[in-house]
Chain A
Amino acid sequence: MGSITLKQVTKSFGDVNVIKPLDLEIRDGEFIVFVGPSGCGKSTLLRMIAGLEDTTSGTIEIDNQDATDMPPAQRGLAMVFQSYALYPHMSVRNNIAFPLKQAKVEPAIIEQKIEKAAKMLNLTDYLDRKPGQLSGGQRQRVAIGRAIVRQPSAFLFDEPLSNLDASLRVNMRLEISELHKSLDTTMIYVTHDQVEAMTMADRIAVFNGGIIEQVGTPLELYQKPVNQFVAGFIGSPKMNFISVDAKAGDPTCSLGVRPEHFKITEEEGLWTGRVGVIEHLGSETFLHVHVDGVGTLTVKADGDCKVAYGDIIHLAAAEEKIMYFDKDGVTIPELSWGEEHPSSAA
């Protein structure tokens, strides 16, 4: 079991409301990712679930039990920190054994659990080393090992890969995903990296300014973002927003087109612009196109795109791929993905 329910949870530091009243249901066995820019409250909420921060109001239920005022150790959760937070004076073996020793588990069982976790995480050869003698990836695996042996009802990850280099991050991402599949335990994962969120999550909660903007599967958020913030945050490179003049009877204030949804045409398209910086990534090319009256648009093209710096190109986008936002930045669903479309209605 590992279901967590947040009911009208808030957190204030003095007069500052870091978390505004918030409800969220995290299902048993689910991999949910909290994503959002720095200072949006995602880490604070994770720490509140862990019990490391007090809850100003509202309730946190873990497995249908009110855990709002429970001390961290009694919540049955394990946390993996950004800085690994290993005990530097203890060997890997003792780091992993620490939570079990605190729970007064028998030494023989502790040894069994350490061996099992070490085997699972490829740490068997490093058990007698100190954390200072390990690489970043190994340290993070020890931190995960320390969390696994407790057999928690849920794992909490607080930006666990931020301190690793890019290639190691990709590997660890896969390892954590595989771990989730094999343990089938609830995982709450905090990150500011939307690629991590998209690749790992069953569901993503997008945070902004202490509120959850949207919760949904990665594809839901990509295809049907509820507002401009989610549309801009999910997807890389981010969505292009184009302001449009308000017309009578049409609430549209801006359009959103993802870089991958532009088509470069030889004849006139919706927009015409001059090609600026070109980023060749091999498999794909990103063009930064300056369009008069619109600004710079990012366009994703094929890897063998022949466009050169300074060329004038025309851009088009399929109608069904364009999103429409009103003056408050809220998506207009009937225009963005509904059957009714301005062009077809005309």
Chain B
Amino acid sequence: MAIKDTNKSKLIYTLAAWTVSGMIFFPILWTIITSFKTESEAISASPRLFMFDWTLENYAEVLSRSPYFDHFMNSVVISLGASLLGLLIAIPAAWSMAFVQTKRTKNLLKWMLSTKMLPPVGVLIPIYLLFRDFGLLDTRIGLVIVMTLINLPIMVWMLYTYFREIPNEILEAARMDGAGIKQEIFQVLLPIALPGIASTLLLNVILAWNEAFWTLILTAANAAPLTAFIASYSSPEGLFYAKLSAASVMAVVPILILGWFSQKQLVRGLSFGAVK
């Protein structure tokens, strides 16, 4: 009886999991399929899932019309640059919050997180004006700075959580053994927290890669990453669904591959310390 019940609930859970996964994945699948259709097939009133003439012409067209690799390189530089610069600031910040706590540390952490709750459009004008005055509009360095600032609260929070899992006694032992702050951080703390640091880096690369609001506003041509490249296919003259889909696929594939290969690391990092 009990075994029957377990099997039944297993079946229900499996079906539910597949349904939810299907719902999440379907738009991505539809985009991929559309990218292989002709424009007329893409806007057809009775869309077909698989039974159509598959074509690669959208990819050829997109590649010939826009400098894909320039956008790709911009995305790489901006997302990696912002994540590495962010780590450089977030590691010492998280270290002090985790190991040299004061009465106000908790408030400071909450305040940092609260900045993520502010709608970005609220600071649009001041940031735009600052970028204009400092000559940062449409530059990679400008976007690296803005992405770093946007994701810094998340990075500090993630690293703070990982660092809190490391017993203070290990760092105290290092101090007794004669390690200064530099050795304590580089030789003891960072190697132990490596899974957490790696997943913080990966998650922030993904967040920065997918960020569209600021990239569309602060870039034009030179520093435009792949998000701006996708948006260029939705123009006032009309939407080119098939080409838009092809551009989208080309923009997400690199990050999807990165995500796929680092899945294990990401899951381990995100559940770091959940099981002692």
Contact = CB atoms under 8 A, between A and B. Distances in A.
Contacts, number: 58
Task: Give the most central of B167, B177, B178, B187: most A CB within 10 Å.
Answer: B177
Interface in A231-288: none
Contact of A73 (B169, B178, B191): B178
Secondary structure class of chain B's binding surface, majority of residues: helix
A85 interface: yes
Nearest to B188: A87
Interface stretch (A1-9, A74-82, A192-200, A222-230): A74-82
A89 interface: yes
A99 B180 CA distance: 11
Interface in B158-213: 167, 169-170, 172-179, 183, 187-188, 191-192, 194
Interface string A83-108: 10111110000000011001100000
Nearest to B190: A89
B170 A73 contact: no
A146 B169 contact: no
Nearest to A74: B178
B183 A73 contact: no
Interface residues of B, number: 17
Interface residues of A, number: 23
A99 B176 CA distance: 8
A67 interface: no
A295 B135 CA distance: 86
A72 interface: yes
B187 to A, nearest CB: 8
B172 A85 contact: yes
A146 B179 CA distance: 14
A148 to B, nearest CB: 12
A52 B177 contact: no
Interface string A128-148: 000000000000000000100
A85 B175 contact: no
Contacts of A150: 177
A98 B174 contact: yes
Contacts of A81: 169, 172-173
B99 to A, nearest CB: 12
Contacts of B176: 50-52, 72-73, 77-79, 99
Task: Give 4 closest A-B pairs by Cβ, nearest first.
Answer: A102-B178, A99-B177, A73-B178, A85-B173
Interface of B: 167, 169-170, 172-179, 183, 187-188, 191-192, 194
